[in-house]
Amino acid sequence: MPIPGNLLTTAMAVMPHTDVDQALNAALSLDVPFWPQLPNYNYYEDMYVQAAEHFPGIILDMENKTVRFSLDKFIEEFEETMAHFEDPEYFDVSPAYSVVYHQFLDLDLSDRPAIRGQLEGPVSFGFNILDQDDRPILFDDTVRPFMFEFMAKRINVQLNRLKKKNPNAFMFIDEPGLQFIFSAMSGYGEQKARVDLDEFFSMIDAPRGIHLCGNPDWDFLLGLDMDILSFDVYSNAEIFAASAPSIKKFLNKGGILVWGIIPTGFETFEKENLDFLSFKLNNIWKALGKKGIDIDQIVRRSMLSPATCCLVNADKEKTVEKAFQMTRDLSRILRENYNLS
């Protein structure tokens, strides 16, 4: 099984660190490490900037820290992009856009149960990047299909490179924007998103899945053709548990759930403790058990992580690193309780 379960630990990639080595050490402290994204270290390390590399039409302003799009520039650069379409290096994250990624690739990662990469997903990218008319490029019927294909290509290239470091590598597609498609005000509805995402996942190599910290339609999300879902259960426990039939189908087809249970915000973290978080997670699993999902199956097909990314703590990286430690401690306690080797 390429993606491990058994309550092993991982985390989302966006971290507040400004020291690359310190961030990498924190990521390596978890069972399934990843390459951190460090926007406080360098704007090139921002997840939207990294996804935008070589995308035609992008206007990157490093001084003001903005990413914009120009349709005229897109038309001008499109032919050059297509000329590189079979060049894997062109679609990978370059050293200029992430020194962290390339330091991660220099490590010996062969002894890990798995490793993970990530890229910003097309829905979130399309919502966030505005064109010359301040309109999200997701609404452009000319740009949107290419954007989905372009991002699929980038994900596949990164996954292939990570698999050379560890055959059990997998990818997170970071999609915070998915929670917005279910609003009547989004302008990009659920039906259109389903068609686009089904086509998108058909272009992406396995194993792959979605990470988001928001609260989308969980039945919609669990029905996508993916292998792993990483989510914030700390904030969304009750509403997520209400999707028990979809959760059961996802687990039965071999899916892995990453339960984000440890808060990373300073004030919230300071109020919590291991006993309560263990109790909370066990209660969620018991509630799902009463709805016909075998708890042993849940724990075998689950990982643990912090609940969210956090860049705004006054103590910078300290609380986040404490959350990583608490994630490891909770994993140890629960693995002992459930007799997992």
Can you tell me whether residue 216 is helix, strand or coil? Answer: coil
Read off the pLDDT of residues 231-246 as tens digits, 9 standing for 90 and up: 999 999 989 999 999 9
Read off the pLDDT of residues 301-322 as tens digits, 9 standing for 90 and up: 999 999 999 999 999 999 999 9
Read off the pLDDT of residues 279-288 as tens digits, 9 standing for 90 and up: 999 999 999 9
Q: Identify the CATH assignment for 8-337 out of 3.20.20.210, 1.10.10.60, 3.60.110.10, 3.30.1330.10.
A: 3.20.20.210
- Quick one: tokens of 302? 């689950």
Q: How many helices (H) and strands (E) does the chain have?
A: 15, 9
Interatomic CA distance for residues 5 and 114, integer angstroms: 10
The answer to whether the Cα torsion of 140, 225, 239, 264 is positive or negative is negative
Average pLDDT over residues 90-118: 98
pLDDT of residue 185: 65
SS3 sequence of the chain: CCCCCCCEECCCCECCCCCHHHHHHHHHCCCCCECCECCCCCHHHCHHHHHHCCCCCEEEECCCCEEEECHHHHHHHHHHHHHCCCCHHHHCCCCCCCHHHHHHHCCCCCCCCCCEEEEECHHHHHHHCECCCCCEHHHCCCHHHHHHHHHHHHHHHHHHHHHHHCCCCEEEEECHHHHHCCCCCCCCCHHHHHHHHHHHHHCCCCCEEEEECCCCCHHHHHCCCCCEEEEEHHHHHHHHHCCHHHHHHHHHCCCEEEEEEECCCHHHHHHCCHHHHHHHHHHHHHHHHHCCCCHHHHHHCEEEEECCCCCCCCCCCHHHHHHHHHHHHHHHHHHHHCCCC
Q: What is the percent of the chain with per-residue pLDDT over 70, rounded to a whole number?
A: 99
pLDDT of residue 332: 97
Q: What does pTM read for this prediction? A: 0.95
Nearest one of 126, 295, 258 to 196, comparing CA atoms: 126
The answer to whether the Cα torsion of 306, 308, 309, 312 is positive or negative is negative
- pLDDT of residue 156 exceeding 60, the answer is yes
- Contact (Cβ atoms closer than 8 angstroms) between residue 20 and residue 324: no
pLDDT of residue 179: 84
Read off the pLDDT of residues 2-36 as tens digits, 9 standing for 90 and up: 899 999 999 999 999 999 999 999 999 999 999 99
Interatomic CA distance for residues 2 and 189, integer angstroms: 33
| Mean pLDDT, the chain, whole residue set | 95
Read off the pLDDT of residues 245-297 as tens digits, 9 standing for 90 and up: 999 999 999 999 999 999 999 999 999 999 999 999 999 999 999 999 999 99
- pLDDT of residue 123 exceeding 90, the answer is yes
* Domain boundaries, given as residue ranges, for the chain: 8-337
Please name the helix (run of DSSP H) or strand (run of DSSP E) that holds residue 258, with its range, or none.
Answer: strand 256-262
- pLDDT of residue 189 exceeding 80, the answer is no
CB atoms within 10 A of CB 125: 26
pLDDT of residue 181: 81
Residue 257's DSSP bridge partners are 229, 302
Nearest one of 184, 178, 156, 188 to 169, comparing CA atoms: 156
- pLDDT of residue 177 exceeding 90, the answer is no
How many residues are recorded in the chain?
341
Average pLDDT over residues 106-119: 97
pLDDT of residue 44: 98
- Quick one: tokens of 331? 């994993």
Read off the pLDDT of residues 198-212 as tens digits, 9 standing for 90 and up: 999 999 999 999 999
184 confidence band (pLDDT: 50, 70, 90): low
1 confidence band (pLDDT: 50, 70, 90): low
- pLDDT of residue 142 exceeding 70, the answer is yes
Can you tell me whether residue 26 is helix, strand or coil? Answer: helix
